[in-house]
């Protein structure tokens, strides 16, 4: 497996924390019998199973830019359709009643262009359902960005933070109302309970820390980077009376619908 590719087993280690937003997003979708659904950035197929459970008779396709993720999904769910496709670059073939994406578009640049592209693959009365983390509104995201700005790392991880494309809800609303007929938006804070601050670091290795760690050339540099982030988050997230650590994780959701006449 390519060292810069995603690591499905590490990602799934925190499946409970990652899957709940998919459950919540699917539960808010008002569509009785969609014929075709696409899961953009399906990862190892965990979010796709929530979709499949809700709409058992629908044709569902999962796509992801990561060969490792698609290999894992194909292995675990061999009776489903999986494809290696980069939604930000590649053409997406087909027309779908629901275009679904959970915690993915923050890795894709130019969100207005992306939303326009996703609208183009919807049926005449289809809908778009998306969730993304408001990563830099949280102390965790701010701490990682703060450590990354230190001159110690400048030659190796310069501009890595810019890889995260996360706009505020106002941007998404203004973009969506240009493209769709109805827009629903909400924000949820998921309060995750961890045994330690190290558990937070471990969860972030497969997502928020991933692009920084990949750029660092040595194991020593990666360890030092993680240690500095750990020092920051110890102050941001104090221990509870039982020794646990609470991590409020903020996520933005939106559902945008077309009608048959547009």
Query: Which structural domains are found in the chain, ordered by start?
Result: 8-257 (3.40.50.150)
Q: What are phi and psi of 182, to 5 degrees?
A: -135, 145
The secondary structure of residue 125, as a DSSP letter, is E
| Structure-block tokens of residue 141 | 């995201």
- Spatial distance between the Cα atoms of 97 and 35, rounded to a whole number of angstroms: 7
The secondary structure of residue 33, as a DSSP letter, is -
Kindly write down the DSSP assignment for every residue of 154-215, as one continuous string: HHHHTTGGGG-----HHHHHHHHHHH-SEEEEEEEEEEEEESSHHHHHHHHTTTTTHHHHHH
Q: Is the pLDDT of residue 255 over 50?
A: yes
Which of the residue ranges 23-37, 143-157, 219-233 would you say has the lowest mean pLDDT? 143-157
- Spatial distance between the Cα atoms of 67 and 73, rounded to a whole number of angstroms: 10
134-155 pLDDT per residue, tens = 999 999 999 999 998 886 777 7
- Using a 10 angstrom Cβ sphere, with 0-12 exposed, 13-18 middle and 19 or more buried, the burial of residue 19 is middle
Q: What is the mean pLDDT of the chain?
A: 92
Percent of the chain having pLDDT more than 90? Answer: 80
How much is the average pLDDT of 108-125? 96
Q: How confident is the model at residue 261 (pLDDT cuts 50, 70, 90)?
A: low
| Structure-block tokens of residue 15 | 């499946």
Q: How many Cβ atoms from other residues are within 10 Å of residue 242's Cβ?
A: 6
- Predicted pLDDT at 2: 45
How much is the average pLDDT of 115-132? 97
- pTM for the full model? 0.92
8 Å CB contact between 45 and 77: yes
- Spatial distance between the Cα atoms of 216 and 229, rounded to a whole number of angstroms: 14
The secondary structure of residue 68, as a DSSP letter, is H
Report the Cα 166 to chain-centroid distance in Å.
Answer: 11
């Amino acid at each position: 497996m390519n060292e810069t590719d995603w690591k499905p087993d590490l990602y799934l280690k925190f499946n409970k924390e990652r899957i709940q937003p998919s459950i919540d997003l699917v539960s808010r979708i008002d569509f009785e019998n969609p014929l075709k659904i696409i899961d953009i950035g399906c990862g190892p197929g965990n979010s796709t199973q929530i979709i499949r459970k809700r709409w058992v008779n629908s044709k569902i396709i999962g796509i992801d830019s990561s060969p490792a993720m698609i290999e894992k999904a194909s292995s675990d769910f061999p009776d489903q359709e999986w494809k290696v496709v980069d939604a930000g670059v590649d053409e997406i073939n087909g027309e779908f009643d629901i275009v679904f994406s959970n915690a993915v578009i923050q890795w894709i640049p130019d969100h207005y262009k992306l939303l326009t592209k996703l609208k183009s693959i919807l049926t005449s009365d289809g809908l778009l359902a998306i969730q993304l983390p408001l990563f830099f509104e949280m102390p965790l995201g701010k701490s990682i960005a703060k450590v990354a700005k230190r001159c110690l790392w400048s030659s190796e991880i310069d501009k890595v933070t810019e890889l995260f494309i996360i706009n505020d809800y106002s941007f998404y609303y203004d973009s969506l109302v240009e493209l769709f007929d109805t827009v629903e938006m909400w924000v949820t804070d998921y309060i995750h309970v961890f045994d330690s601050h190290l558990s937070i670091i471990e969860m972030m290795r497969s997502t928020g820390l991933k692009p920084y760690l990949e750029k660092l050339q040595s194991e020593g540099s990666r360890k030092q980077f993680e240690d500095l982030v750990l020092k920051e988050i110890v102050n941001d997230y104090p221990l509870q009376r039982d020794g646990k650590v609470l991590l409020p994780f903020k996520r933005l959701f939106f559902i945008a619908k077309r009608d048959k006449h547009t």
